[in-house]
């Protein structure tokens, strides 16, 4: 599985946790893909494990926004990208930003791309 596809699947998997707090990682993953690879599982488990830390980093870079107001899809994308920026030292920042914008185009609304690009670019500058 290519990393782009893994990120797309990660958005679909992590989005489920917005609606079912009792959901397990295994069930969420199986709802989306039958055979996940190591990279996908790393993103999913890492993002879930570091969610509070990621949300704090995102909050630091919001201008005139509260994290509670962010569209749930955009928030999942921001969490994944912030996780990659903070903990995946192999992926260049420019790739993380580009992938986040592409995910927001795919899953978000008309304003998502600009919003995600602005927030994640600001986060990337501080890491």
Q: How far apart are CA 6 and CA 36, in angstroms?
A: 8
Separation of alpha carbons 20 and 75, rounded Å: 16
The pTM for the full model equals: 0.95
Per-residue pLDDT of the chain (127 residues; tens, 9 = 90+): 999 999 999 999 999 999 988 999 999 999 999 999 999 999 999 999 999 999 999 999 998 889 999 999 999 999 999 999 999 989 999 999 999 999 999 999 889 999 999 999 999 999 8
CA-to-CA distance for 109 and 94, rounded, in angstroms?
22
Question: Where in the sequence is the domain holding 119, given as residue range(s)?
Answer: 3-126
Q: Provide the number of structural domains found in the chain.
A: 1
CA distance linking residue 127 with residue 16, whole number of Å? 28
CB-based contact 79:58 (threshold 8 Å): yes
Give the pLDDT confidence score for residue 110 in this predicted structure: 85
CATH number assigned to the domain comprising residue 70: 1.10.940.10
Task: Write down the pLDDT at residue 63.
Answer: 87
Q: Helical H runs in 1-127?
A: 3-15, 25-32, 38-49, 51-60, 72-87, 93-107, 112-126
Residue 58, burial from CB neighbour count under 10 angstroms (0-12, 13-18, 19+): buried
* Token pair for 65: 């926004």
């Amino acid at each position: 599985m290519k990393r782009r596809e893994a990120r797309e699947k990660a958005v679909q998997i992590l989005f489920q946790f917005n609606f079912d707090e009792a959901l397990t990682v295994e069930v969420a993953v199986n709802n989306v893909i039958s055979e996940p690879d190591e990279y996908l599982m790393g993103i999913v488990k890492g993002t879930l494990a570091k969610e509070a830390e990621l949300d704090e980093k995102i909050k630091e870079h919001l201008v005139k926004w509260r994290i509670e107001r962010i569209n749930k899809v955009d928030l999942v994308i921001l969490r994944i990208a912030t996780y990659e920026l903070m903990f995946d030292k192999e992926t260049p920042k420019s790739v993380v930003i580009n992938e986040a914008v592409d995910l927001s185009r795919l899953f978000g609304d008309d304003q998502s791309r600009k919003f995600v690009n602005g927030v994640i670019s600001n986060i990337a500058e501080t890491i």
